[in-house]
A and B are shown apart, each in its own frame.
Chain A
Amino acid sequence: MICQSRPCVLTVKHLTNKSYTMSFRLAFTVYLFIFCTFSAAQALREDQGLFDKPDGTLSTIKLKAGTAVKPLKRQGFWVEVQVGTISGWLKVSMINFGGASGGPTAIDTGRLGTGNIVSTSATRGLSAKDLINGKPNFEELQKLEQLNADGATVVAFMSEGNVIPIEQKISLTPPKPAPVSNAGATTSTGAGATSSKQKKDDDW
């Protein structure tokens, strides 16, 4: 369901009759609700404003928990979504991707494309049957034991790739079992990332 904080957005000039305008608005809202519920795969976890840009700039559009949204593309922790005819940005954690609540499970944020995934072929040697009935290969194990990396080489490698360790405390707190709401969205009260410094927004 969509709430417009500025009703004039949807006002049509020639609908001068007030009650007629109200009926139109109601019908449009019902249409959007039905459209959004049945045409998109993911739903909003909580009441949330839609963002204009992936930088925390809020738009005037407000969305209700359970509103179906269609992810278009992801940029870091932001997802561009389509809600009916409107598009905007949401934080990725605002969307219920469905796994935990048993809803739709397809993640399709558009960014994947065909990628570099090669065509399907038969799996060699790593089926469950192979793992159970196969013979151990101790010669290959000896080769594996030769593979490692010393500390100094690792540090130089990281530095070369501009991988800079973070000194601050990084910790994700495991969530407590949360009741699943009947709106199809899980309550996201378990957010527990702790860090002394949190970047305001995270798109590069």
Chain B
Amino acid sequence: MRARLLANRKKTMTGNFIGQIGVWTLLGATICAQAQTDEENVGKAGAAQVLGGAALVVGPQSQQYVNLVGNAVAKHSGSNYKWHFGVIKSDAINAFALPGGYILLSSGLLKSLESEDDLAFVLAHEVSHVVRKHHYQVVQRQRLADQASKGLQSVTQDAETNKLAQASGQIYARGLDKSAEFESDRMGVEFMTRAGYDPAAALNVLEKLQRFKGDDPRAELLFSTHPSPAERMDQLLLVGIDKLPRPSAKANSARDGRFKAFQNAL
């Protein structure tokens, strides 16, 4: 009798334990989903703000192309975002990584590249910003500061979205810490190399960007928000970019051809 009672008690405890695990797992998943949703919402608001300045390029093939290359490198980032890459019509030399997996690239920047491998580095750099939540963390800090100063005022959904959009605009106009840019360069090179692109393309891109230095208005925002390309190149060399394996297979005519077609369509 006593043994049966003990056995029942043990069963109940095991059941409770399993139940608790289930509850905590569900709670954890819900919190994660909410966090992801919030991150996406922040990203959407930021993307809308950038798109307010420059609309998407009309050209489904160009947009599809950056989504294919972008997803190819993002696949090696170890994240599970649903990625949306877009080309915007602007002479500016810039790209924007928005929280939640939204990435915008200016047609001006894309025209300055020389190969799909160059493009892979640009995309991988932006993917790294998203994966490391660089901009999202700035938004979160700003929110905390706002809440502290305004006593946790309740705001409507629309007001919140517009406020987020404007806050995002300010963040992109101000830029991130240098360390975040260096980290994105480093991680971006890792992602693109894993994907099968040539890590030396990162140096090609930075050399290209260096040429815009000076009074060129197209690169004004880029240079005010990023460390100099020379400094970025130095950082990549310090972490041993030239010791990475380069792909054994060269870019074939299909890869070169589709990149040229993409650039011509911009």
Tell me, yes or no, whether A122 is within 8 Å of chain B by CB: yes
A78-90 interface code vs B (CB 8 A; 1 in, 0 out): 0000000000000
B92 contacts A136, C-beta separation under 8 Å: no
* SS class, residues of chain B in contact with chain A: helix
* SS class, residues of chain A in contact with chain B: loop
Q: Closest CB of chain B to A76's CB: distance in Å?
A: 5
B137-155 interface code vs A (CB 8 A; 1 in, 0 out): 0000000000000000000
A144 contacts B51, C-beta separation under 8 Å: yes
Binds A, one of B17-25, B31-39, B60-68: B60-68
Q: Closest CB of chain B to A69's CB: distance in Å?
A: 14
Interface size on B, residues (CB 8 A): 106
- Contacting A at CB under 8 A, from B43-77, are 44-45, 47-56, 63-64, 67-72, 75-76
Q: From A167, which residue of chain B is reached at the shortest CB distance?
A: B194
Tell me, yes or no, whether B190 is within 8 Å of chain A by CB: yes
A165-204 interface code vs B (CB 8 A; 1 in, 0 out): 1101011111100100000001010111101011100101
Name the one of B49, B108, B173, B208 contacting A115, with C-beta atoms under 8 angstroms.
B208
Name the one of B161, B186, B263 contacting A172, with C-beta atoms under 8 angstroms.
B186
Q: From A42, which residue of chain B is reached at the shortest CB distance?
A: B230
Q: Which residues of B contact A126 (CB under 8 A)?
A: 50, 53-54, 88, 90, 92, 94, 106, 221
Q: From B104, which residue of chain A is reached at the shortest CB distance?
A: A144
B255 contacts A198, C-beta separation under 8 Å: no
B196 contacts A148, C-beta separation under 8 Å: no
Q: Which residues of B contact A12 (CB under 8 A)?
A: none
Name the one of B56, B172, B212, B245 contacting A140, with C-beta atoms under 8 angstroms.
B56
B54 contacts A165, C-beta separation under 8 Å: no
Given contacts A100-B235, A100-B238, A165-B194, contact A134 B230 (CB under 8 A): no
B72 contacts A154, C-beta separation under 8 Å: yes
Bound Cα distance A188, B70 (Å): 32
Tell me, yes or no, whether B243 is within 8 Å of chain A by CB: yes
Tell me, yes or no, whether B217 is within 8 Å of chain A by CB: yes
Name the one of A128, A151, A191 contacting B173, with C-beta atoms under 8 angstroms.
A128
A172 contacts B245, C-beta separation under 8 Å: no
A141 contacts B76, C-beta separation under 8 Å: no
Q: Which residues of B contact A13 (CB under 8 A)?
A: none
Given contacts A93-B237, A99-B231, A123-B91, contact A144 B47 (CB under 8 A): yes
Q: Which residues of B contact A190 (CB under 8 A)?
A: 238-240
Name the one of A122, A141, A172 contacting B47, with C-beta atoms under 8 angstroms.
A141
Q: From B227, which residue of chain A is reached at the shortest CB distance?
A: A99
Tell me, yes or no, whether B9 is within 8 Å of chain A by CB: no
Q: Closest CB of chain B to A139's CB: distance in Å?
A: 8
Given contacts A99-B227, A116-B114, contact A136 B244 (CB under 8 A): no
Given contacts A106-B230, A172-B244, A198-B245, contact A163 B196 (CB under 8 A): yes
B207 contacts A112, C-beta separation under 8 Å: yes
Given contacts A147-B84, A158-B72, A162-B250, contact A195 B244 (CB under 8 A): yes
- Contacting A at CB under 8 A, from B221-247, are 221, 224, 227-247
- Footprint of B on A, CB under 8 Å? 74, 76-77, 91-93, 96-101, 105-107, 109, 111-112, 115-118, 120-138, 140-141, 143-145, 147-149, 151, 153-154, 157-158, 160-166, 168, 170-175, 178, 186, 188, 190-193, 195, 197-199, 202, 204
| Interface contacts beyond A161-B258, A190-B239: sample of 17 additional A-B pairs, CB < 8 Å, sorted by A | A92-B237, A105-B210, A105-B213, A117-B112, A120-B216, A121-B91, A125-B54, A136-B161, A141-B51, A148-B82, A153-B68, A160-B254, A164-B248, A165-B76, A175-B235, A186-B234, A198-B244
A and B contact pairs by CB, cutoff 8 A, 20 listed: A100-B234, A117-B112, A121-B218, A127-B92, A128-B221, A131-B173, A132-B166, A138-B48, A144-B51, A144-B86, A147-B85, A162-B249, A170-B245, A172-B241, A192-B239, A193-B244, A197-B245, A198-B245, A202-B246, A204-B246
